[in-house]
Amino acid sequence: MKLGFYPGCSVDGGSREYKESCRALAKAFDIELESVPDWNCCGASAAHNLNRDLALALPARILSLAEKAGMTDILVPCAACYNRLALTQHELMKDETLRNRISEVTGLGFKGSCSILNVVQWIQKYILPELPGKIIQPFDYRVACYYGCLLVRPHKVLKFDRPEDPQTMDEVMKLIGATPIDWAFKTECCGAGLSVSRTDVVADLSGKIVYDAFSRQADALIVACPMCHSNLDMRRPEINGYLKQKISIPVIYITQAIGMAVGISTKELGLHRHFVPVKLPEKTEAIK
């Protein structure tokens, strides 16, 4: 099966392991991820702070290209990209004048026919039906599912999961044998782009997230966003400095966790690329 795929800049760069694990997982389930031809930047947080037309035109071009390539579903693994694409589609579909103006800017027509899937929706739709028979190594750990801010908000537009206490990742993790913990920081801000300019703020915000997961005895943090990942993983030295405590709880992409459960090698999943080593407590035997 072929499926549309919009990588975006971060999974093509800093978060290569996210893309690798998405592709590895897709391969294990006989799905071919086909990148949107000639894709461009989604605008990230810069564009919509500066210029509304630009903020809409960039994602609109991506969606138009995907439509042209005949894609009906596109997987957008980065939560920020997903958010920008989904919001753009929403804005353009409810306002014809705006749609026409933006189409003029991109020089491409816009139908709004693509269904934009975040990684959890993609897993729910394409992975879960085949999953039960494929688990060879249950992911039997206590996990803290961290959704971040962009995956479930704004609820009015995305209509995905409960905005304050989301559950979908928890449900998926249960299916691969994990025990999702009940914790307080599922959707709290990790500090996002302040990672570069105000590392101290990130250490504070992300530090609270890591500490709560740690104090509730989670074995791993599960994420679905490259920004969240880099703040919780790459900024761990700053976090530990802020907490005055060495916390070594690993941060794992949801695709990596499922990949481990279905027996994909750690190399293919890119687990070696993390800053915080992925060391999980020895627990289970492989199913014979």
Partner 1 sequence: MARIGVFVCHCGENISATVDCDRVAENAAGLPGVVHSVDYKYMCSDPGQTLIREAIREHRLTGVVVAACSPRMHEPTFRRACAEAGLNPFLCEMANVREHCSWVHEKTESTTQKAKDVVRMLVEKVKRNEALQPIKVPVTKKAVVIGGGVAGIQAALDIANGGHKVLLVEREPSIGGHMSQLSETFPTLDCSQCILTPRMVEVAQHPNITLWSYSEVIGLDGFVGNFTVKIRKKAKSIDEHLCTGCGLCTQKCPVRKIPSEFEQGLGTRSAIYTPFPQAVPNKPVIDKLNCTYYLKGRCKLCEKVCPTQAIRFDQPDELVEVQAGAIVLATGYDIKRADFFPEYGYGKYKDVIDGLQFERLASASGPTGGMIRRPSDGQIPKKIVFVACAGSRDPAKGIEYCSKFCCMYTAKHAMLYKHKVHDGTPYVFYMDIRAGGKDYDEFTRRAIEVDRTQYIRGRVSRIYEKDGKLIVVGADTLLGAQKVEIEADMVVLATASVASQGSEELAQIVHVSYDRYKFFSEAHPKLKPVETNTAGIFLAGACQAPKDIPESVSAASGAAAKVLGLFANDELTREPLIAAVNRMSPPQYSTCIGCFLCQPVCPYNAIEREEFKTRDGRLIKAVARINPGLCQGCGTCVALCRSKSIDLFGYSNKQIYTEVAALLDEALV
> Pattern 196-215, binding to partner 1, x per CB under 8 A?
----------------x--x
* Residue pointed to by tokens 């990588």: 7
Instruction: In angstroms, give the least distance from the CB of 95 to partner 1.
Output: 20
Out of 185, 199, 226, 256, the residue judged to bind partner 1 by CB under 8 A: 185
Measured from the Cβ of residue 155, the count of other Cβ atoms closer than 10 Å reads: 13
Q: Measured between alpha carbons, how far is 105 from 149 in angstroms, rounded to an integer?
A: 30
Using the contact rule CB under 8 A, the part of the chain among 22-30, 31-39, 84-92, 177-185 near partner 1 is 177-185
First to last CA, the chain: 29
Confirm or reject binding of residue 284 to partner 1 (CB under 8 A): no
The residues in 141-170 that bind partner 1, with binding defined as CB under 8 A, are: 155, 162-165
Instruction: In angstroms, give the least distance from the CB of 236 to partner 1.
Output: 21
Measured from the Cβ of residue 191, the count of other Cβ atoms closer than 10 Å reads: 24
Total residues at interface with partner 1 (CB under 8 A): 12
The residues in 259-278 that bind partner 1, with binding defined as CB under 8 A, are: none
Paired tokens of 275? 């800053």
* β-pair partners for 32: 2
The residues in 82-141 that bind partner 1, with binding defined as CB under 8 A, are: none
For residues 156 and 196, is the Cβ–Cβ distance under 8 A? no
The number of residues making up the chain comes to 288
Using the contact rule CB under 8 A, the part of the chain among 48-56, 101-109, 182-190, 269-277 near partner 1 is 182-190
Give which of 133, 99, 129, 127 is closest to 113, Cα–Cα.
99
The residue (of 26 and 202) whose beta carbon lies closer to partner 1 is 202
Angle at 118 between CA 174 and CA 280, to 5 degrees: 40
What are the backbone angles phi and psi of residue 179, rounded to the nearest 5°? -110, 100
The residue (of 175 and 189) whose beta carbon lies closer to partner 1 is 189
Out of 188, 214, 240, 275, the residue judged to bind partner 1 by CB under 8 A: 188
* Residues within the interface to partner 1 (CB under 8 A): 155, 162-165, 182-185, 188, 212, 215
